[in-house]
Amino acid sequence: MDKQAVRQTLDQLAAFLVVKGEKASRVRAMQHAARSELLATGRSSALDELREQVPPGLAEMLRIPGLGAAKVRQIHELLAIESLAELEAAAGDGRLAALPRFGAKTAENVRRGIAHLRQASTLRLFHHAQDEVDAVRRALAGLEGAGVLRVEIAGAVRRRCEVIGALDLVAVHEGQAAREALVRRLGEAPGVTEIAGREGSVTLRFASGTVVEVLLTTPERFGLDWIRATGSPTHVAALETRARALGVSLSAAFPDEPSLYRALGLAWVPPELREANGELEAAAGAGDRLPRLVEPGDLRGFLHCHSNYSDGTVTIADWAAACRAAGYEWVGITDHSKSAAYAGGLATEDVAQQHDEIDAVNARVSGIRVLKGVEADILADGTLDYGPDVLDRFDFVIGSIHSRFGMSEAEMTRRVLAAMDDPHLAILGHPTGRLLLQREPYAIDLEQVLAKAAARGIAVEVNADPHRLDLDWRMVRRARELGVTLSIGADAHSTSGMTNVAVGLGIARKGWLEPDGVLNTRDADAFLAFARARLVATG
Ligand SMILES: [Zn+2]
Ligand SMILES: [Zn+2]
């Protein structure tokens, strides 16, 4: 690691510590310790662990020019804001300006800073991209007098990619004359600061920093153009090759996507699968080799959430109410375990109290069943951090790695394989530890881990936190080939985190998952039977 990289890493370490409320003397001491570690190994275990503790949305706020860690801490404490979207809203509606030592000027700078971030970063996380492009879609669909018939999201957002470069929309209008009027109205749309047009497509730049490519099309060409704007480029190229081979002219009318796929002898391919990964072969003929992808309505259980017994903000009763309202049959509460001091993990002596509370909620509330889970730390030697007697008291156990990310691949693989020997382990949580655009996955031989998961009947998580989306969708498909059952884990720390599930579901679909491959499509009894199968077998 060169000097400048060390400097930047130490700055980041300091910022995280300030956000956590550490004193200046402690910040200096931690920086001092980290410096020698960085020079020796190029990695700081303190920073790795801080990334587990600081909500990722706050880490994103730290990148806003001129905001600084002390202010981020203030925003989090006083407004309970944990995401860029919430911050942008607060900067717009006066809440930010009203904070002590903030004022209108700071609020305005925050808005500009977020805009700057959007312009400067070519890549953003799925949920940010979806929010941005959907706001533009709604604005364009509502443009009066513009002759817009329909506006649809396309591009990598529609394909549910985990990280998004460009934002794409398709706008449908009547005939060529209507197009000129539409382009004029787009230029005058609220917030648009710049419009650059090419034939058939315009680039809109907004004051918010958002840049969106809008493909303009007519009803007759909509099917083809939506496919083209959705991509991937390799999927589209394969369709074009097929059209040439079959002598199908793509200048014919294709008013919707199925009509084009049909002309090519294919079933309609769900956008998540359009990655040139065998989907055309599966769609050929009757298309019956395409998966019946898992859908929101298939999920019966809400898994992996933190309550106020660890670093969540929600009570057990509130989780039960929120999950029932969202239509789930059961919810698996999984607070952090005792060694997770960073996240206020559940001390052994508090387990009984939490379980009494869950029993009381189950007795009082109908229409939802609360399960006693835990997210136990997998320690460096591969043991889970509660003993078997404590683990026995839980309905199910997720095991996750939250420390010592810098191990060699051989050590890390051995660590996780050892954890899988514990018959309590039902689900391997966020199996690579990646934080998208922030932290690389740790070194681990996933093939070995997945093979063992299949052999032992341990589920592997698709962690639905949009900052993680771990297991990666490419490996989700591989896991399924190996016979692994996957679970979709919200990893929610507040009820607003329930929206994670939709993002994780996109990744599950992108990994070709069908309902029977997803653990939380089962009812509570079947889920518990899966989770406790090895305990029953070993007596
Ligand atoms: Zn975790
Ligand atoms: Zn968690």
Distance 483 CA to ligand 2 centre (A): 25
Q: H or E segment at 304? A: strand 301-305
Taking the C-alpha atoms of residue 416 and residue 427, their distance in angstroms, rounded to an integer, is: 12
Q: Do 193 and 208 contact (CB within 8 A), yes or no?
A: no
Please give the distance, rounded to the nearest whole angstrom, from the Cα atom of residue 496 to the centre of ligand 2: 15
Contact 376, 400 (CB under 8 A): yes
Q: Cβ neighbours of residue 452 under 8 Å, at least 6 residues apart?
A: 417, 420, 458
Cα–ligand 1 centroid distance for 62 (angstroms): 22
- Residue 436: in which H helix or E strand, if any? none
Where does the pLDDT of residue 539 fall: very low under 50, low under 70, confident under 90, or very high at 90 and above?
low
SS3 content of the chain, % helix, strand, coil (to 5): 50, 15, 35
Q: Which SS3 state, helix, strand or coil, does residue 461 take?
A: strand
Span 471-520, pLDDT tens digits = 999 999 999 999 999 999 999 999 999 999 999 999 999 999 999 999 99
Ligand at minimal distance from the CA of 492 is 2
Per DSSP, which regions of 175-210 are E strands? 192-198, 201-206
Q: Using the predicted structure, report yes or no on whether residue 121 has a pLDDT greater than 80.
A: no
Phi-psi region of 123 (alpha: psi -120 to 50; beta: other; left: phi over 0): beta
Dist. CA 51 → ligand 1 center (Å)? 11
Instruction: Calculate how far, in angstroms, residue 336's C-alpha sits from the geometric centre of ligand 2.
Output: 7
* DSSP 8-state code for residue 122: S
Average pLDDT over residues 239-252: 96
Least confident of 109-123, 298-312, 450-464: 109-123
pLDDT mean over 389-405: 95
Kindly state the percentage of the chain with pLDDT values over 70.
99
Q: How far is Cα 242 from Cα 163, in angstroms, rounded to an integer?
A: 29
488 beta partners? 462
What's the gap in Å between 525 CA and the centre of ligand 2? 23
489 Cα to the center of ligand 2, angstroms: 8
How confident is the prediction for the chain on average, in pLDDT? Answer: 93
Phi, psi of 488 (to 5 degrees): -95, 110
Q: What percent of the chain has pLDDT over 90?
A: 76
Q: What is d(CA 486, CA 489) in angstroms, rounded to the nearest whole number?
A: 9
Ligand (nearest to CA of 304) = 2
Identify the helix (H) or strand (E) that includes residue 173. Answer: strand 167-173
Ligand 2 mean position to 465 CA, how many Å?
Answer: 9
pLDDT confidence bin for 338, thresholds 50/70/90: confident
The protein residues having their C-beta less than 5 angstroms from ligand 1 (an ion) are 400
Q: How high is the pLDDT of residue 119?
A: 79
How close is the Cα of 458 to the center of ligand 2, in Å? Answer: 18
Among the ranges given (79-83, 216-220, 289-293), the one the predictor scored with the smallest mean pLDDT = 79-83
Band (344; pLDDT cuts 50, 70, 90): confident
Inform me whether the pLDDT recorded for 4 exceeds 70: yes
CA separation for the pair 374, 337 (Å, rounded): 7
Cα 525 to ligand 1 centroid, rounded to whole Å: 25
| Distance from the alpha carbon of residue 522 to the mean position of ligand 2, in angstroms | 21
What CA–CA distance (Å, rounded) separates 365 from 360? 9
Query: What whole-number distance in Å separates Cα of residue 502 and Cα of residue 30?
Result: 38
C-alpha 322 – ligand 2 centre gap (Å):
18
pLDDT at 342: 66
The answer to whether residue 208 scores a pLDDT higher than 90 is: no
Average pLDDT in the 131-139 region? 93
pLDDT band at 341 (very low <50, low <70, confident <90, very high): low
In the predicted structure, residue 120 carries a pLDDT above the cut 80? no
